[in-house]
Amino acid sequence: MKLVLLDAKTLGNDIDLSVFETFGDFISYETTDSDERIDRCRDADIVITNKVIIDRAVMDACEKLKLICVAATGMNNVDLDYAALRNIEVRNVAGYSTQSVVQHTFAMLFYLMERLPYYDNHVRSRAWTESGIFTCIDRPFHELHGKQWGVIGLGTIGKEVARVAEAFGATVVYFSTSGRNDDPLYPRMELETLLTTSHIVSIHAPLNERSSNLLDMPRLQMLQKGAILLNLGRGGIVNETDLAEVMREREIYVGLDVTEKEPLPERSPLYGAFETGRLFVTPHIAWTSVEAREKLVAGIVLNIERFLKRHTI
C-alpha cells in the first residue's frame, strides 16, 4: 500500500511522521504545487493533505485512490461530491486544536488589552531606567473582569472561549451565524446589538455564505471606542479593506490570526493599518501548538486504521 503526504511542512518538522510507515510505502513531500499533484498522487492508495486541493482532475488520474485524509477539520480543499461519486472516502480530524486556539485567543487579547508592545519597548529602550520612578502608566489598560465578551460562533471553540472568559469575570453573550444555535448558558443577541455593547468581540465561526463579509464597514463602525476585535475563525468573515479604513478613523484594537488570503499579500490593506499601532496579526498559528499537531497526526492515524478495518487494500 502506498501513502502520500502532500504538504508535510504545514505539520512542522518537530512532529514524528514515521508512524505512517507502519501502513506501507510512505512518501512525504514538504510542499506540493498544483501542477505536481497528479504525478505525486497517481499510484497512491491513501493521500494525506492539509491545504493541497484534491479535485476531480486529481481523482480521475488516481485509479488506486481509496482514502483522502485531510490534516485539518475543514474539508473545503476536497471535492466531496465527486469523491463520493468515485467511492473515495474522505476523513478529517475534529477537535484536535480547541485548547490551542483558545489559548491563542487570550494571548492576543492580553497583548492588545494590556498594551504590552508599548511597555516592552519602554523597558528595552531604557526609558524606564531613565524615568526615575518604579512604574509607568503611560498607556492605561482595563481589566477583563466585568467586561462584556461577545462571541461570534458558539461552537466547540467558542464555548471554551466563553468558559475561560467567565473565569476571568467577563460576561459572555453570543451571535449564532447559522441562526440555529440556542445555547441556554449565554444570552443570544442580534449581531448589531452584540457589536455595539461588547468590549471584546471574538470570531470562531466557519466561513460560508452566511458568514462571508459579515463584518463590513457599517458593522465595524458599530464597535465602541476602545473595543477589541479578535478573528480566529476565517479571514473572509472580516472585510479587510473596510477594517483598515475603520482603524484609521476610530480607536479599536484588532487581533487577527487569519486573513482573507494566506500568506498576507504584498498589497494587503492591512499593512496600512499596522501604522495605527493597534493591529496585531499572527500567521495562522492558533491551531499549531505541539500538542495540537500531535493530536492531529494521531487522528489521521486513527482514521487510516478505521478505514483499513473496513476495507482490504
Active site residue 180: no
Ramachandran category for residue 24: left, alpha or beta (phi over 0 → left; psi -120 to 50 → alpha): left
Question: Which of 211, 216, 151 is CA-nearest to residue 178?
Answer: 211
Q: How far is CA 77 from CA 37, 49, 68, 112, 229, in A?
A: 13, 9, 11, 33, 28
Active-site hit among 115, 234, 278, 293: 234
Question: Which of 103, 125, 111, 124 is CA-nearest to residue 278?
Answer: 111
Distance CA 274, CA 278 (A): 7
Active-site hit among 249, 262, 275, 291: 262
Active site residue 234: yes
Q: How far is CA 51 from CA 109, 174, 222, 241, in A?
A: 28, 30, 34, 25
Element at 149 (helix H, strand E): strand 148-152
Write the DSSP string, 131-148: H-SS---SS----STT-E
Active site residue 219: no
Question: Which of 164, 182, 30 is CA-nearest to residue 102?
Answer: 164
Q: Which residue has the cell 485524509?
A: 69
Distance CA 220, CA 32 (A): 37
Note whether 59 and 78 are within 8 A (CB): no
Q: For the CA atoms of 292, 293, 297, 298, what is the dihedral angle to 10 degrees? A: -30
12-28: buried (b, 16+ CB within 10 Å) or exposed (e) per residue? eeeeebeebeebeebeb
Active-site hit among 115, 219, 278, 284: 284
Catalytic residues, by residue number, are 234, 262, 284
